[in-house]
Amino acid sequence: MPSATTFQYDTAALVVAAGRSVRAGGDIPKQYRLVGGQSLLAHAVASLQRHNLISHVHVVVAEGEEVRARAALGSIDATIGIGGATRQQSVRLGLAQLQERGAPARVLVHDAARPFVPRAMIDRILDALETVPGACPALPVVDSLRRGESSIEAEVPRDKLWRVQTPQGFRFADLVAAHAEAMEGATDDAEVLRAAGHEVRLVEGDERAMKVTLPQDFEAAERLIQWATVSGNGYDVHRFGPGDHVWLCGVAVPHDRGLVGHSDADVGLHALTDAVLGALGDGDIGTHFPPSDPKWRGASSNRFLAHAADLVRTAGGRILHCDITLVCEAPKVGPHRQAMLARLGAILADHAPRLSVKATTTEGLGFTGRREGIAAQAVATIRLPMWG
């Protein structure tokens, strides 16, 4: 259920995801099925969230689906509320939930079954709301239309016929008032606002804002995703201190000294975590796990890498390749390499990347050559979806 947090913002997005969907097939509602490694719901929310003028995204789901919706969103930031038995009821409830937090000036109402929302289309909707209370993206009907059952009975003129899409944009107060007066059975929110006597302007839609309805639509949605392959690098150093083992790439390696650090001082995992975060453009370990926070004292670095991997998954991406180089005179890495690869594979199992762990020395030069500590460098290559 919605929290008591109050938001003050100009534009909110309301994503309707309470449907049960039967035409799309599958064992679960279509909004939770995956396209490109990410749920339709996550794609839809992330597409809206990426726009700099949308300050908050709220999702309404069927009662009992809150946990599944949160899991489908991963680390994507959105609030979740309970919808109703029909789409119209769900929107009405979602608007009330947004209002409890402090009504926004504008709201975009979007169907979770439309996973991709191009930025330029949102721009056109928001621009229209500067002069009219409602805006609806639409595409002209280009195919010839006929009416009939088993045979053609009549031609249907296609002039002034449009294929309506979402998100549809509204001045918040006008839409709330229109829903309060609306009869049940409206097909969409643009019709609710129009029936209340307000103008709803048509703006140019986008073929990429397709609606996933039938089983074959999932394949079509997959083909719309454009992928980028990017890399990041990481580097870490820890000095030796008292102890009888060191943690390297998730494996406890016997040694006559330990490594000093706020967590378990696993230089290999720290370097790789920074490499993954670097590829995402999402800060570094210190950003996500500040060393000033006592809760991370002695923490297993497995958690850091797993968190970075989850951020990639939430972004709809996949880790393709990881290469770690450990720099030290001792301990010997070779005897433990297979165990390290197995541990990395377990942490990154959802991504199944190609993995490499190497070791080298500095021929007695520098702090590693003097056996004062261990250094590690890593490169991570990930695949991420790109959006217009």
Q: What is the CATH number of the domain that holds 321?
A: 3.30.1330.50
Note down the domain range covering 136: 11-224
The residue among 191, 224, 257 that closes a domain is 224
Q: According to the model, what pLDDT value does residue 378 have?
A: 98
- Same domain assignment for residues 254 and 127: no
Residue 294, domain member (yes or no): yes
Q: How far is CA 267 from CA 134, 203, 362, 365, in A?
A: 55, 53, 17, 19
Under the banding of pLDDT at 50, 70 and 90, the label for residue 223 is confident
* Percent of the chain whose pLDDT exceeds 90: 73
Arithmetic mean of pLDDT, 33-41: 87
Residue 2, in any domain of the structure: no
- 210 shares its domain with 252: no
Q: Which residues contact 212 (CB under 8 A, 6 or more apart)?
A: 24, 30, 35, 40, 113, 114, 115, 218, 221
pLDDT tens by residue, 178-211? 999 998 888 789 999 999 999 999 999 999 999 9
Strand spans (E) along the chain: 11-17, 34-35, 38-39, 56-61, 79-82, 106-111, 134-140, 145-148, 152-156, 162-164, 168-171, 200-204, 226-241, 245-248, 251-254, 258-259, 318-327, 354-360, 373-386
Instruction: With a cut of 50, say whether residue 8 has pLDDT above it.
Output: no
pLDDT at 350 exceeding the cut of 90: no
Last residue of a domain, one of 224, 253, 279: 224
* Mean pLDDT taken over the chain: 91
Amino acid 21: pLDDT:
67
Mean pLDDT value across residues 365-377: 96
pLDDT tens per residue, range 101-144: 888 999 999 999 999 999 999 999 999 999 999 999 999 998 88
Across 114-123, 255-264, 273-282, 291-300, least confident range: 291-300
Q: Residue 162 belongs to a domain with what CATH number?
A: 3.90.550.10
Mean pLDDT of the 232-256 span: 97
**Residue range 327-345, pLDDT digits in tens:** 999 999 999 999 999 999 9
Listed residues 224, 249, 278: the one ending a domain: 224
4: in domain: no
> What is the sign of the dihedral through the CA atoms of 264, 269, 270 and 273?
negative
Q: Give mean pLDDT, residues 242-256.
A: 96
Residues 80 and 185 in one domain: yes
What local confidence, expressed as pLDDT, does residue 337 receive? Answer: 97
Q: In terms of domains, do 153 and 296 share one? A: no
At residue 4, the pLDDT reads 38
User: Per the domain annotation, does 3 fall within a domain?
Assistant: no
Judge if the upstream peptide bond of residue 140 is cis by omega within 30 degrees of 0: no
User: Are 32 and 177 found together in one domain?
Assistant: yes
Residues 176 and 199 in one domain: yes
243 and 220 belong to one structural domain? no
Instruction: Please tell me the distance from the alpha carbon of residue 316 to that of residue 28, in angstroms, as a whole number.
Output: 19
Indicate if 190 and 281 belong to the same structural domain. Answer: no
pLDDT of residue 25: 57
pLDDT category, 3, cuts 50, 70, 90? very low
Under the banding of pLDDT at 50, 70 and 90, the label for residue 154 is confident
Are residues 143 and 68 both part of a single domain?
A: yes
Question: Is position 178 within any domain?
Answer: yes
**Residue 365 located in a structural domain:** yes
Specify the pLDDT at position 23: 56
Ranked by mean pLDDT, the top range of 143-157, 209-223, 364-378 is 364-378
201 and 342 share one domain: no
Separation CA 305–CA 276 (nearest Å): 8
Residue 322 lies in a domain: yes
Amino acid at position 160, single letter: K
Residue 337 within a domain: yes
pLDDT at position 7, please? 41
Do 56 and 114 fall into the same domain? yes
pLDDT band for 387, please (50, 70, 90 cuts). low
Evaluate if residue 215 carries a pLDDT over 70: yes
| pLDDT score recorded for residue 9 | 53
Number of domains the chain is built from: 2
Instruction: Tell whether 173 and 41 lie within a shared domain.
Output: yes
Q: What is the pLDDT of residue 143?
A: 87
